[in-house]
Structure 1
Amino acid sequence: MTSNSIYLTVAISTFGGRVSGALDVVEQLTGHMAWIEVVLVHQVPSEFVLEQSALQAVQLLKDKADVHYVLSQEQGLTKSRNLAISYASGAYVWLMDDDIEFVQGAFLELKLRLEQSAAACLSFQSLKAGGGLRALYAKDRAELNARDRLRVASFELILDRRFIIDHHVLLREDMGVGSNTGINMGEEAVLLSDVVRAKGLVEQHRLAVVVHPDESTGTNYNALNVYSKGVVLQRCFSGAEKLKYFLKDLLKLLKDRDGNIGTFSKRVSLSLALTRGCFGKI
């Protein structure tokens, strides 16, 4: 831990009028500010006009002494997260969305686990708004395996700030929502693979810390998402290991056991998108 009292920076990213939801997230942290700071990056392109409700939310955030409000005209979620990290002062940085609810009863245990861990990144569990855990971990405080690293969400990740700065490990800004590169997801998995390549430990924790809406970019089967998954495989793995995960995803697409992907022609088209992402030039 650092010598100051701030153990954790909650790095919230929001865009445009969604800042009202971000304010709700900040309000939930009341009572924990003795050891938590908030950095909130608000992306508002120059041509964007905020409604009155959003402007009021911005003013309320600026009035909070324990919130560092950062206005940015850039677009792209990964750019927002990296900017938030650059403003952070906590020993750890928690990547946060603007539409979550915290599991209030988990904060004491969360702080204890941060104090006890030597990991470069801690991956916690989250709850779906409709009920149940988003991901299951068989073991507590064990190393997160390669396949599970592909399934993480940003709001489940808490990073050792000193490690990522010293090893120059940040989110890749040509990935993620708003990047406009055709790679709209998977930046979290690539981040964790970069942490591992830098000899950092990624540790899984069987503790649910947030509740998130059930809808997710990664659950939609379209060409852009599937291509992005292929890019993730290319950036996370190499050689036989990459081929293994590619074949697993390819068979999943072609077989469509759950019947939620679509016609055979669509499955073939998506398979080609996966192949292009995994083996093509990025």
Structure 2
Amino acid sequence: MFTVSDLWRYPIKSHGREHIDTVELTAGQTMPWDRHWAVTHGDSKFDADNPAWVMCRNFMIGASTPSLAGISAELDAEKEALTLRHSKLGELTFWPDKAEDHTRFLDWVRPICPADQRQPFGLAAVPNRGMTDTDYPTVSIMTNASHRAVEGRIGRPLERERWRGNIWLDGPALWEEFEWIGKRIQIGGAVLEVIEPIQRCKHTMANPASGVRDTDTLAALNEGFGHQDFGVYATVVDSGSVSCGDTAKVI
């Protein structure tokens, strides 16, 4: 039996993380408000007139703009107001679904986007799903044992926020999550099917406090464990609530 230690959502893809205590998962959907919006750049193929999922390269992401990793978020879901914070930018509260607020957000985030790289252009959203890296709606599951193993390889404490996971579990053995692929796991009142491992990118190298790349997490994975994966993608098959402290088990 495992225990849910933490729950996280990321209202704007690559632009802020938020710790939450409980969430209601719905079959076939992403976690509510997770990657609900994404930030396009000038070369994006996202079509705002016909919104549909597109690959992550069409958005501003931490793999190419590491400073974005330093953003934290606080969503007022009832008002659909989002507050973002960054050590170099201060605080911004805005309404992502209001077109007139997009300029305020873009002006706020632009100073941490290098001038010689892609620049933020607009906000994108797709009805009824988050902009996950997968082309199907997923929730990500991480384990604390695997995180501690990576810490051990690096030789110092490592922020778990680097992995940008949705559900963190205490109890599973090191890399046990990879054995769940093709199986179902009950977490709280919801049931999820584990689909595939998550191959990691340079976003994880950036410090979530400063947005500076300071740790070669990819080398730690590849050289220490023979793979570049951390965590697994899962789909929700049975709706239900999940809270910190809930139990989980493979079924």
Which one scores higher on RCO, CA 8 angstroms, separation ≥ 6?
Answer: 2
Whose Rg is larger? Answer: 1
Q: TM-score, normalised by structure 1?
A: 0.23
Q: Which structure has the highest helix share of the two?
A: 1
Q: Which structure has the highest strand share of the two?
A: 2
Q: TM-score, normalised by structure 2?
A: 0.25
